[in-house]
Amino acid sequence: MSNFAKWWKSDRGPGPLLRIALPLMLSSGFVSLTLFTDRTLLYYKSEAAAASAMLGGTLYWALLCFPMGLLSYVSTFVAQYIGAKEYSRVGVAYQHAMVVAAAFIPFLLIAWICIPYLLQVTQQPEHLMAEETLYLRLLVVGGIGALFYFVQSGLLTGYGRTSTVLLLDGIATLFNIVLDVVLIFGWLGIPALGSSGAAIATAAAFWIKVPLAYFCIRMDGSLRNQFLVQHQHRWEREMFRRLLVYGIPAGLQLLCEAACFSIIMLQVGRLGEMDMAATSLALGINVLAFVPLIGLGLGVGVMVGTQIVGGRVDLARRNVAMGLGLAIAYSLVFAFWVGLFPENASSVYSFGANAERFEAVQQQLIPLLQLVGLYCIFDGIQIVLSGALKGAGDTWFVLGATLVMSTLVVLGGLITQHALGNSLLIWWYAITAWVVLLAAVFVYRYWGSSWEKKRVIESSSTSF
């Protein structure tokens, strides 16, 4: 084996990080593909269908992001217990997280009932609100299954079986896309359901992952015999407390981001169908850059959590640096494409679309894509650094920074809109400022060293 190959596979090389992060990036890419396909197919159906899916999907994310952040954070517990060689504690954390997942079901059912009343504040046309209500209610049904998959994928991610997560998400994505085509346009004798068909496909894809993940976990000998994930553990108040103390800020951070984004989308929704459709299409392209970087951030967080508990802060910092390099390189390629060639990027929506409809939307879409190209590099930086901070356990700082910056951006946008009048670009400038500010704050925090002393597991489990 050459010296380069040895370095690549060593703790100081990029091999271990890529082994964890690359499947997560590809897995997140499947999510990007699903969102992109949904919005593109619905745009082919009509602007109303695309607009309803945009707002409905945004509100759905606002409902589900808090439990997702909290439940997925079990990956940090798993990574830190493995780093401390306290393997039997992994099963305890996993089972407690599954109980927390079940506790969220009543809240989703209440949200399902309240959806029509929530949408009334948007002051949209009645036909749009009716379509969005059905779309969102169907997604909530799928969200119940997603609660349990968040914990299952968190276990597999923290354990390092990210290739399994990739396989599961790949199967679900393929299933979703096939159902999208059949249900949105009405194939095989099934009536065309439009946005409702897209929601049914997404909900079914969420649920199919739960039994598949259960099977993979059950068949893994180490998870079963060494980590004791199927052993009946007694209830531990301290474990429950730690899951909430560190998981709640992780969930609230996502909720804060979703709330900020939802407010912005509600303001855009009041501008009309064309503005919302252009925003939906721009974000459909944006997720091609944004969502894979989430996988990279998760991978960096797992590496940081495992290494700092083992006393290797130097390796943790090295992996963060490599993660930043990958994020910036990936984002630069994307920024070059959408920032300098927005007409080319937007042309992906022209296939099969009415020429007049597409030209009308493209005029508003191009400046939005140029802004996407501007802020996506900063987005990569803030995703990797927030992942590193959360992997160490610095979740309360990440929450505080996100809350402050989100509040400033929303207030700034509302004040500017009041002074200058309604404009789509005002809110896209607000999104750009939001991403840049978050990146700056997380760079400042990471530059210090207080995060290096954070832990989420019991002090008796750490090894130095």
Pairwise CA distance, residues 47 & 365, whole Å: 14
**360 located within any domain:** yes
**226 located within any domain:** yes
CA distances from 425 to 94, 245, 263, 429, 431 (A): 44, 39, 15, 6, 10
Can you give the pLDDT at residue 73? 92
**404 located within any domain:** yes
The per-residue DSSP string of 203-251 comes to HHHHHHHHHHHHHHHHH-HIIIIIS-TTS-PPP-HHHHHHHHHHHHHHH
**Which letter does DSSP use for residue 104 in this model?**
T
Can you give the pLDDT at residue 462? 47
Query: 54 and 279 in contact (C-beta within 8 Å)?
Result: yes
**4 located within any domain:** no
CA distances from 73 to 48, 152, 166, 387, 450 (A): 36, 11, 18, 11, 20
Q: Counting Cβ atoms within 10 Å, is residue 205 exposed (0-12), middle (13-18) or buried (19+)? A: buried
Q: Counting Cβ atoms within 10 Å, is residue 435 exposed (0-12), middle (13-18) or buried (19+)? A: buried
**Taking the model in full, what pTM does it have?**
0.81
Dihedral sign of CA atoms 368, 293, 200, 260 in order: negative
**307 located within any domain:** yes
Pairwise CA distance, residues 286 & 361, whole Å: 16
Q: Which amino acid is at 238?
A: E
CA distances from 165 to 121, 146, 223, 379, 389 (A): 38, 14, 15, 24, 23
With a CB cutoff of 8 Å and minimum separation 6, the contacts of 373 are 334, 335, 336, 337, 338, 339, 340, 342
Can you give the pLDDT at residue 126? 67
- Give CA torsion, residues 283, 263, 383, 399, to 10 deg: -170
**5 located within any domain:** no
Can you give the pLDDT at residue 463? 43
Can you give the pLDDT at residue 62? 77
Other CB atoms closer than 10 Å to residue 265's CB: what's the count?
A: 23
Can you give the pLDDT at residue 84? 86
**3 located within any domain:** no
Pairwise CA distance, residues 39 & 339, whole Å: 21
Pairwise CA distance, residues 296 & 304, whole Å: 12
**8 located within any domain:** no
Q: Which residue has the tokens 């210090």?
A: 448
Query: 190 and 183 in contact (C-beta within 8 Å)?
Result: yes
With a CB cutoff of 8 Å and minimum separation 6, the contacts of 160 are 19, 20, 82, 302
Can you give the pLDDT at residue 53? 66
Q: pLDDT by residue for the chain (464 residues), tens digit each?
A: 676 677 767 666 677 788 888 888 888 777 767 766 776 676 666 666 666 666 677 777 778 889 999 999 999 999 999 988 888 899 999 999 999 999 999 999 998 888 877 776 666 666 667 777 788 888 888 899 999 999 999 999 999 888 999 999 999 989 988 888 888 777 777 776 777 788 888 889 889 999 999 999 999 888 888 888 888 888 888 999 999 999 999 999 988 888 888 788 778 877 776 777 778 778 777 877 777 888 888 889 988 988 888 778 888 888 899 999 989 998 998 888 887 777 777 776 666 556 666 676 777 788 888 888 888 899 999 999 999 999 888 999 999 999 999 999 999 999 998 888 888 888 889 989 999 999 999 999 998 878 888 888 876 554 43
Dihedral sign of CA atoms 391, 27, 327, 60 in order: negative
- Tally of structural domains, the chain: 1
The per-residue DSSP string of 143-165 comes to HHHHHHHHHHHHHHHHHT-HHHH
- Give CA torsion, residues 338, 339, 342, 348, to 10 deg: 0
Per DSSP, helices labelled H in 310-394 are 313-340, 342-346, 355-392
Domain containing residue 123: 13-461
Query: 425 and 335 in contact (C-beta within 8 Å)?
Result: no
